[in-house]
Amino acid sequence: MRAGIRTRVPAFLWGKMVRVLLLSLLTVATLAVGTDLVLAAEAEKAEKPYKITDGKVDKKTFNGWRRYTESCLRCHGPDGAGSSYAPSLVDSAKRMSQDEFNEIVINGRTNVSAASENVMPPFGTVEDVVSYLDDIWAYLTARADGALGRGRPPRIGE
Amino acid sequence: MKAMKSSRFWVVGSLVALCASGASANDELIKLSKDPNQWVMPTGNYANTRYSELNKINKENVKNLRPLWTFSTGVLRGHEGGPLVIGDVMYVATPFPNNVFALDLNHSGQILWKYEPKQDPTVIPVMCCDTVNRGVAYGDGKIILEQADTTVVALDAKTGKEVWSVKNGDPKKGETMTNAPMVVKDKVIVGISGGEFGVPGHVTAYNLKDGSKAWRAYSVGPDDQILVDANTTELGKPVGKDSSLKTWQGDQWKVGGGDTWGWYSYDPQLNLIYYGSGNPSTWNPVQRPGDNKWSMTIFARNPDTGVAKWVFQMTPHDEWDYDGVNEMILADLNVKGQPVKALVHFDRNGFAYTLNRETGALLVAEKYDPKVNWATRVDMQTGRPELVKQYSTQAGGEDHNTKQVCPAALGTKDQQPAAFSPKTGLFYVPTNHVCMDYEPFKVSYTAGQPYVGATLSMYPPQGDNHLGNFIAWDARSGKIIWSDPEPFSVWSGALATAGDVVFYGTLEGYLKAVDMQTGKELYRFKTPSGIIGNVNTYTHGGKQYIAVLSGVGGWAGIGMAAGLTKDTDGLGAVGAYKALANYTQLGGVLTVFGLPE
């Protein structure tokens, strides 16, 4: 074979091919974007661990607030807002992934130095906390997203 | 001045010599507490009046007061309590890690010695309401410290070396210590904290000489544990057998609480110590039917044996966490035309009680904040509050949000101690002005874990946008005489002086002086951090000083740091939901004030 064979496309077919090609590309692109949008929407819905309807929260998120108050408030203040000596978990939820959050809650974190005596205890063996990590995360994420304000969240059905 | 200094040394020296020869440490302390130039115990004196005869600083010249020297404690948590001044040495205790400093007032506060205990930091998260410490006590040449990890340690006052050390509890079970010990005769009286962890409360007496245990009295449980006998009365009637156990169901009393983390007072003539017990566990009243005796109770006990002479329960079957631990001020008053050895107590529950401290008879019980609403009154025959169903969290039940209850759980006053002036016959009281929604829910007990069982939202009373008042109170009639509103709860201990001035600190960090008669502000200075400590006074070299610790924290640092809840309309720019964090940051500084030369 001779190198550099050029396939000769008849001129009338060339235009048609381009049009078909463009149309296919457009279709594929549209399909791709459309799928992306659908996937993104589903992903967004799937990503939110909380459900809020008319300002009222689902059972999981309410339970997160309750468990937070029982086990976390005494250091981190009411509604995840922070105290004079422990950080705002609303801020933490903005910057952390759920995995990072879980790791700290389960294993604890110590920050002891000349100017600081902050100890986050490990809750890995505390049933009341570790069984409800998802719920607590749901509540804090709702707060971090600005979807939920301060105070006791009203429950769906209340 | 020199003569005064050396004569004071002589007095202290000779008293120490007396002690060495076996005389009672009590006599020394009584004598020292009557010397207004010194501040020998955290409460100022055994009666807890927080009143000083010093009058060089008075209502005419206090406007010229200024900070003269300062000392950084090196710790950044809530600084409750205040310094002792004995002779020419000032003793300062810090929040966790509970360092103790002895400062030489003759040499610009140079550190004579410091004690730096090594404590396991895992005790920190077991302290419900910040890692505070309310101060050290002095007795028989020793400085006594209650450490967070429940170690009670006696240090040589001259050298800071450990003389003895005992363990009073176990942080693994949620037990910690925050309060100031009291030396009574040859004993050290200490308490225990942990009402939010189901810790059974008790008061323990250790022998001052060697730290051996003398007695322990529980707040809740069998008679031989709570140290009551056939002569123990409540409102004149014997409490009878099993007075505590009868008021609990099943084994709930074993995690019943009634912790003893507040202040103690002592009457040397009657030979009685007085203190109050804290909340029953859990915060969910549905889980503990019964009156839950003897939580929320004023105790009068014999300091030699611990046996209770009389008791009085203020909030039977608590539904709101109104701990009864606030100070018991001993004052001789004319009540309804009769002179009475009185005991006055400003309870968390919003009622100010006046009792006969000899017999435990109830004389007066009135609201010291008009917004208190959970009860209409206290029945003077039975001593029981008459509840308002709407604000009863028991009536509302589990998983129901009971709303608009006043006061909030932190009470119309928490541990921040009031002062009494024998000149005016009035009390000067730092108060909170906060209400709450409270929703109980079922919880189970695990040693060392929170045993709370209620959620809480706090906010000021409807229509108000301030969170505190500093008031003058007449305990004879049960009336507010004057009231100064404050933007935040007044979380510091007050000081009243013969100079007709009352001092207190604010959460933004102001040290304030007000006119004792009118409450008019005469002086203010913004210290480095919010004040939750107690204002003390002393002299050195013939000059009067005012000393106070700054360092925001405590429960105020938890509940108010980020502002309170409920963004309600109509409160304007100066609205109530301001955050304390907008006004102050963490700190740890002692400031000493005086008049210019």
Burial of B286 (0-12, 13-18, 19+ CB in 10 A): middle
Please name the member of B128, B129, B562 whose beta carbon is closest to the beta carbon of A82.
B562
pTM over the 0.95 mark: no
Whether the pLDDT of residue A102 is over 50: the answer is yes
CB-nearest partner of A70 from B452, B458, B552:
B452
How many CB pairs lie under 8 A apart between chains A and B? 111
Residue of A nearest to B403 (CA): A152
Q: Which of B129, B455, B565 to mutate to test the interface with A (most CBs of A within 10 A)?
A: B455
Q: Say whether B455 and A69 touch across the interface (CB within 8 A).
A: yes
Closest residue in A to B555 (Cα) is A74
pLDDT of A52 reads: 94
Supply B466's token pair.
């301030």
Query: Domain boundaries in chain A?
Result: 12-47, 52-144
pLDDT grade, residue A114 (50/70/90)?
low
CB contact under 8 A, B562 and A81: yes
Over residues A31-73, the pLDDT tens digits come to 655 555 555 544 445 579 999 999 999 999 999 999 999 999 9
C-alpha to C-alpha distance for B291 and B384, rounded to whole angstroms = 11
Give the up-direction half-sphere exposure of residue B268: CA atoms within 13 A in the CB hemisphere. Answer: 16
Residues of A whose CB is below 8 A from B77:
85, 117
Q: Would the pLDDT of A21 be above 70?
A: no
- What angle, rounded to 10 degrees, do the helices at A133-144 and A59-71 form? 100
Confirm or reject contact between B404 and chain A (CB < 8 A).
no
Interface with A, mutate which of B124, B149, B281, B564 (most A CBs under 10 A):
B124
Q: Which residues of A touch B581 (CB under 8 A)?
A: 82, 84
Asked if B585 contacts B527 with a C-beta cutoff of 8 angstroms, the reply is no
Residue B211: both structure tokens together: 């730290």
Instruction: Find the angle CA(B138)-CA(B143)-CA(B149) to the nearest 5 degrees.
Output: 120
Q: What is the pLDDT along chain B (597 residues), one digit of tens a residue?
A: 444 444 444 444 444 444 443 346 579 999 999 999 999 999 999 999 999 999 999 999 999 999 999 999 999 999 999 999 999 999 999 999 999 999 999 998 999 999 999 999 889 989 988 999 999 999 999 999 999 999 999 999 999 999 999 999 999 999 999 999 999 999 999 999 999 999 999 999 999 999 999 999 999 999 999 999 999 999 999 999 999 999 999 999 999 999 999 999 999 999 999 999 999 999 999 999 999 999 999 999 999 999 999 999 999 999 999 999 999 999 999 999 999 999 999 999 999 999 999 999 999 999 999 999 999 999 999 999 999 999 999 999 999 999 999 999 999 999 999 999 999 999 999 999 999 999 999 998 989 988 999 998 888 899 888 999 999 999 999 999 999 999 999 999 999 999 999 999 999 999 999 999 999 999 999 999 999 999 999 999 999 999 999 999 998 888 777 777 654 433 333 333 468 888 999 999 999 999 998
CA nearest neighbour of B95 among B491, B586, B423, B579: B586
Whether chain B has a CB inside 8 Å of the CB on A147: the answer is: no
DSSP symbols for chain A: --TT--PPPPHHHHHHHHHHHHHHHHHHHHHHHHHHHHHHHHHHHHH----EETTEE-HHHHHHHHHHHHHTHHHH-GGG---SSS--HHHHHHH--HHHHHHHHHH-EEEEETTEEEEEPP-TT-HHHHTTHHHHHHHHHHHHTTSS-SSPPPBTT-
Instruction: Say if residues A108 and A58 touch (Cβ distance below 8 Å).
Output: no
CB proximity under 8 Å: B 415-454 to A:
437, 439, 441, 443-444, 446, 449-450, 452-453
Assess whether the previous peptide bond of B294 is cis (omega < 30° from 0).
Answer: yes
- At B276 the pLDDT is 98
d(CA B94, CA B114): 11
CB-CB under 8 Å, B557 with A84: yes
Distance (Å) from the C-alpha of residue B485 to the closest C-alpha of chain A? 23
- The whole-number pLDDT of residue B26 equals 78
Phi-psi region of B511 (alpha: psi -120 to 50; beta: other; left: phi over 0): beta
Task: Decide if A109 touches B, using CB distance below 8 A.
Answer: no
Beta carbons of A78 and B457 less than 8 Å apart: yes
Whether residues A128 and B565 touch (CB distance < 8 A) is answered with no
* Residue position matching structure tokens 């245990």: B213
Out of A71, A114, A152, name the one closest to residue B450 (CB). A71
Q: How would residue A127 be classed by pLDDT, with cut points 50, 70 and 90? A: confident
CATH architecture of the domain covering A52-144: Orthogonal Bundle (1.10)
How many Cα atoms occupy the beta-carbon half-sphere of B515 within 13 Å? Answer: 9
Q: Which of A83, A121, A128 minimises the CB distance to B558?
A: A83
Q: Does B116 touch chain A (CB under 8 A)?
A: no
pLDDT at A35: 58
pLDDT of residue B538: 98
Q: Choose, from B321, B323, B474, B484, the residue flagged as catalytic.
A: B321
Which residues of B241-395 form beta strands (DSSP E)? Answer: 265-267, 272-276, 297-301, 308-313, 329-335, 338-346, 351-356, 362-367, 375-378, 385-387
Q: Which of A78, A85, A114 sits opposite B77 (nearest CB)?
A: A85
The yes-or-no answer on residue B223 being catalytic is: no
Q: Which residues pair with B342 in a beta bridge?
A: B331, B356
pLDDT tops 70 at residue A3 = no
A1 has pLDDT over 50: no
Interface of A with B in 18-37 (CB under 8 A): none
